[in-house]
Structure 1
Amino acid sequence: MRSRKKARSLSAALGLMLVLGACSSGAADGGNNQVKLTVWSWDDTVARAVPGFEAANPNIKIKVVNAGSSYDEYTALDNAIQAGSGVPDLAMFEYFAVPYFAIPGKLEDLVEFGAKNLKKDYIDASWNDVTVDGKVYALPSDYGPSVMFYNEATLRKAGVKEPPATWDEYYNDAKKVRALGGDYYIAQDTGDLFFLLSLIWQAGGRPFKVDGNKVHIDFTEPGTTRAVAFWQKMLDQNLLNTKVTAWSDDWNRTLNDGTLASQIMGGWLTSSLPQRAPKAAGDFRVAPMPQWHRGDEVGAENGGSSFGVPAAAAHKDAAFKFLKYFTHGGGLAKRVDAGAFVPNTSVLASTDSQSKVNKYFGDQKVGPVLAKASKSVASDWQYPPFFEWARSTYGDLVSQFYTTGKGSLAEILAQWRQRMIKYGNEQGFKVD
């Protein structure tokens, strides 16, 4: 959860959002002059693409800098834009942050560089994530389709032979796991916003609708209320561990000892779960997210990121050239080999992805499950452009609910909506 101090700092940065104009791009690239690009990234795999790119483009040198992840990088970028100096040539953005920088003109429209020609090479949902008002402001670099990581040994101990294919089965299986007693639960939750949104996303809810600077927020539509009511039932019946927080030592312990039977998260967890739960090697498997109706193949997203060219970047042509190289071209294989999970259709359909077995996951072929989950993500989801502020505010609200047990998720969402409406209008948006 982000602190209130950070939320206030971000509020100040956002307050300037709609009045800042884009800076000039600087000198044109080309000729024999050496170009030095600065890339801001917290994704370590990006650096793997640098040697190959520099070898093919000796007049371009790349410096990859970790300017902090998520909020820290966005704040640093805002500060650099305001100062008129220190703006990187490429920067990393979680998908929800793209509108935050794109709408006020802080990101370059990549259509003029030919980005639209790449659309066919990415899954639809990831392309939607980098498109704002019909313009392309970034290229997808990694992806997090929601899938279910489950401990097969624990489920069998509870009398569950197959992972739940529907949410009704998930509910019934949760009761069987809980019947084991002690700390056995089918899952944990202490207010994970991205999980709740992925549940809403899959159920057909679309609480955010953005059109330019107009934002509509509604948590009462049928898909949203169905998802929220289901998760509220799981909480009310004590079928979820609400004491263990994800990414904590306790979380690692419950994953290791099998008392946490499953976790629904982005596919990127395949790379870090072996380090977090080494004692459970061979027990875990990966399955699609349970469906609302048997036979459906509807997915959702939980995380992922992209790279865009700031409007104030000095070397836009060279920046896009490198961007295309490591997200789409010759540098992509190096990143995939290093563990990046990307939404490129060619990679998802590759022989290696489809046939490779994963020893940690009981020699399961994980690739096909993740590929299918990626392709099933509904592509019309939107985030409000002030979502970074909004998720911090949600954390403040929901923590009280999980701590005291008073109220409901629906009430929390209603309060969150009112705060977003007030804040968004204060920042110059038209929010209702």
Structure 2
Amino acid sequence: MRLSQKVRLLAGVLVPMLALTACSGGSGSGAGGGGEQVKVTVWSWDGTVERAVPGFQAANPNIKVEVVNAGSSQDEYKALDNAIQAGSGVPDLVMFEYFAVPYFAVPGKLTDLREFGVDKLKQDYVPAAWSDVTVNGKVYALPSDYGPSAMFYNAATLKKAGIEEPPATWDEYYEAAKKIRALGDDYYIAQDTGDIFFLLSLIWQAGGRPFKVDGTKVHIDFTDAGTTKAVAFWQKMLDEGLINTKITGWSDDWNRALNDGTLATQTMGGWLTSTLPERAPKAGGDFRVALMPQWQQGDKVGAANGGSSFGIPAAAEHKEAAFKFLEYFTHGGGLATRVDAGAFVPNTSVLENKEFQSKANKYFGDQKTGVVLAEATEIVGSGWQYPPFFEWARSIYGDLASPYYTTGKGSLAEILEQWRQRCIQYGNEQGFQVD
């Protein structure tokens, strides 16, 4: 999922799932197995999770599940921290964006799920998603949805500019941007007003690994070869006026530009497949989805943009029962229900399913978008890390980047260096060893 946006799969796709044997197996009070009632409280802003509750409660009548929207992203994390500090009101299961897992895991606020035998579930996840929930060799959450980066493009606009095929490389993307810009003042290949997740996905794909985390030690460097290459490329796009820096993502202007075709591409998480039809209904039949352009012709390397997981707080009261439900909606009978409701999951048993891959999407010109998104998920580059305090870092980046996008003074490299210095200061103040 893209921050507070719901992550969805192709609407109407219902795939038969591999129901894995529950591995919690506990029958004590925490699991609700002795005839006593146990109430599991789940904090989630993903509406598909609640869809799995009826089936789970039917199979586990002694466990009552209450799903609470405690606020999306930052609001939820703050509420959880407050509950942990107060020693009361701690939920049994909590939704986390992948980058937020280390923030709670490193200080010991999450349960290591290996005690429930989760290692055997690893094989049903694409490697990048499993890596996202693993911190210092321990597994603190199970992936529930995913956002592989993909390029959504308006084929009609590209054709109008004389481009028959979507750009397969970033060099081709640059040339396409100039042709699209030549169509008129309102035409751009993309927009950007300081989206750190897009920039990081570009860096990620280029092989940059600016954050290196080892326990409480964090190293931040935006000068490695991959990072430098990605930043320089996007700086060139901005300097030459090929990117619209006036339209903010998720705004009414953004919807309008997507609708009328003046915004030709959008490189985002795969979840845009279902969000785009709602925002640009007039462009139905024109849009398609492709892998991110590559840095070298013939390469197939990707990145991620968004996605979420669920972990069990260390202070949770009903851990065994919570894990039963967690496994149910990420691997058991509840998974198919969530997929049908719109969840885009990183489970290989879904992504490799023939029905998922062969489903034609009418909005995307009857393209079999599932095939593209499945491949985009499989090729996400390995080794990416977020610092444990990225929840704070992402918010401060917007403050630092805003002046550049409004005045044009400065550069992305300068912004990143300012960001690095602020992160070092903040991280050290929080007790980490940051350099």
TM-score (norm 2): 0.93
1:407 to 390, 407, 410: 410
1:322 and 2:356 correspond: no
Q: Distance in 2 between matches of 1:255 and 1:290?
A: 20
Secondary structure at the residue paired with 1:399?
A: helix
1:270 is matched by which residue type in structure 2?
T
Q: Deviations along 1:276-335, whole A, 9 cap, x unmatched? A: 000000000000000000110100000000000000100000101100110111100010
Query: Aligned pair 1:307/2:300, yes or no?
Result: no
Amino acid across the alignment from 2:110: L
2:294 to 287, 291, 295: 291
Q: Output the CA distance in 2 between the equivalents of 1:149 and 1:142.
A: 19
1:169 aligns with 2:164: no
Measured after TM superposition, the shift of residue 351 of structure 1 is: 1.5
Please, which runs of 5 or more residues in structure 1 have no aligned partner?
3-25
Alignment of 1:187-266 (within 5 A): 187-266=190-269
After the TM superposition, which residues 12-411 of structure 1 pair with which residues of structure 2 at under 5 Å, given as runs? 28-29=30-31, 30-411=33-414
In 2, the alpha carbon distance for the partners of 1:296 and 1:346 equals 25
User: Does the 8 Å CA contact 2:29/2:38 hold for their aligned counterparts?
Assistant: no
Q: Runs of 4 or more off by more than 2 Å in structure 1? A: 26-30
| Alpha-carbon distance in 2 for matches of 1:262, 1:342 | 24
Following superposition, the deviation at residue 271 of structure 1 comes to: 1.1
Query: Secondary structure at 1:264's aligned position in 2?
Result: strand
Instruction: Supply the distance in 2 between the matched residues of 1:429 and 1:86 (Cα, whole angstroms).
Output: 27
Output the CA distance in 1 between the equivalents of 2:382 and 2:38: 37
Q: Is the 8 A contact 2:150 2:292 kept in 1?
A: yes
Preserved CA contact (<8 Å) 1:27 1:314: no
2: CA distance between counterparts of 1:291 and 1:115? 34
Aligned to 1:11: none
Compute the displacement of 1:27 (Å).
6.2
Distance in 1 of aligned mates of 2:86 and 2:367: 51
For residues 75 and 348 of structure 2, what CA distance do their matches in structure 1 show? 31
The Cα shift of 1:28 comes to: 3.6
SS in 1 for 2:320: helix
Cα offsets for 1:99-150 (capped at 9, x unmatched): 0000000000000101111111100000000000000000000000000000
Identity across matched positions, percent: 79
In structure 1, distance between residues paired with 2:94 and 2:104: 11
On the 8 A contact 1:138/1:306 being kept in 2, the answer is yes
Maintained 8 Å contact 1:47/1:64: yes
**Equivalent residue of 1:85, what SS?**
coil
1:65 CA drift (Å): 0.5
Q: Aligned pair count?
A: 408
2:412 and 2:131 map into 1 onto residues whose CA distance is: 28
- Find the aligned partners of 1:163 and 1:378 in 2 and give their Cα distance: 22
Mapped partners of 2:72, 2:331: distance in 1: 23
1:420 aligns with 2:423: yes
User: How far apart in 2 are the matches of 1:205 and 1:160?
Assistant: 30
- Write the distance in 2 (CA, Å) between the matches of 1:144 and 1:215: 25
Is residue 30–residue 38 contact of structure 2 (8 Å, CA) maintained in 1? Answer: no
One-letter identity of the residue aligned with 1:182 = D
Which blocks of at least 5 consecutive residues in structure 2 are unaligned? 4-27
Amino acid at match of 2:179: K
TM-score normalized by the length of structure 1: 0.94
Contact 2:29 2:36 in 1 (8 A): no
Q: Is the contact made by 2:170 and 2:295 (CA closer than 8 Å) also made in structure 1? A: yes
Q: Is the CA contact 1:209–1:216 (under 8 Å) kept in the aligned structure 2?
A: yes
Cα displacement string for residues 254-277 of structure 1 (whole angstroms, at most 9, x for unaligned residues): 000000000000000111100000
Amino acid at match of 2:421: Q
